[in-house]
Chain A
Amino acid sequence: MAISEDRVSHLAHRIYDRLWRDDLADFPDESRPLACIKEAITSFFAVAEEIDDTVRRKLASYAQAKVPGSREYEILYQKFYQEELAKRKW
């Protein structure tokens, strides 16, 4: 689940604008909150990448799931992915 830098920036600006425009919050400074939102989004997606790597490494040791893209591979991938999500409460 990759996310581009452009998209992180775009999303951060939209979140910032929504909170400010709807009068839900004030920001004493503009650039630092934006950087903080970008950081939160980036680190959140970094965990997703980490989970994907963990699952693929785990699958590499499974004889019945040797072929990425095969039905067995996809079924086991989903199963292990959900397990990792639950483990990390992500």
Chain B
Amino acid sequence: MKLKDGQIERLAERILERLTVAGLIQLKSERGKLLAGIRSVIAADCKGEEDLEKEAERLLEQTLRSMGGAAGGIDRHKMLRMIKERLAKERGIVL
């Protein structure tokens, strides 16, 4: 889930708009502050995944290097996914 700043902004606006139109929220602060709060949650979630991916890539490279010639038959994609899932579980990140 890679989102650009503009997409995070639009998603935050849509969430707040839906809640408001449906009458499911009572604002206790100005709209801009609520949007900033929603944006920061989404951005932190994206950042968590991004960091996890980088770490998984690093661990994959390290593993393949340590395997030397035996790494030839490894399915990189599958192995990366397994590393990602393990890291996510360890860090309590929901993918």
From known contacts A25-B27, A27-B25, A44-B11, infer whether A19 and B34 are also in contact, taking CB-CB under 8 Å: yes
B interface residues, tally (CB under 8 Å): 26
- Check A40 against B95 for contact (C-beta < 8 Å): no
Q: Which residues of chain A are within 8 angstroms of B94 by Cβ–Cβ distance?
A: 4, 6-7, 10
Q: Closest Cβ of chain A: how far from B92's Cβ, in Å?
A: 10
Which residues of A from 37 to 90 have beta carbons under 8 Å from B?
37, 39-41, 43-45, 90
Task: Report B13-31 CB contacts with A as 1/0, cut-off 8 Å.
Answer: 0110011001011111100
Q: Closest Cβ of chain B: how far from A17's Cβ, in Å?
A: 9
Give the distance in Å from the alpha carbon of A7 to the alpha carbon of B49 in the complex.
11
Task: Report B40-65 CB contacts with A as 1/0, cut-off 8 Å.
Answer: 11100100000000000000000000
Which residues of A from 1 to 53 have beta carbons under 8 Å from B?
1-4, 6-7, 10-11, 14-15, 18-19, 22-29, 32-33, 36-37, 39-41, 43-45
Interface centre among B7, B45, B94 (most CB of A within 10 A): B94
- Check B34 against A11 for contact (C-beta < 8 Å): no
* Closest B residue to A48 using CB positions: B7
Give the distance in Å from the alpha carbon of A6 to the alpha carbon of B74 in the complex.
29
Q: Which residues of chain B are within 8 angstroms of A37 by Cβ–Cβ distance?
A: 15, 18-19
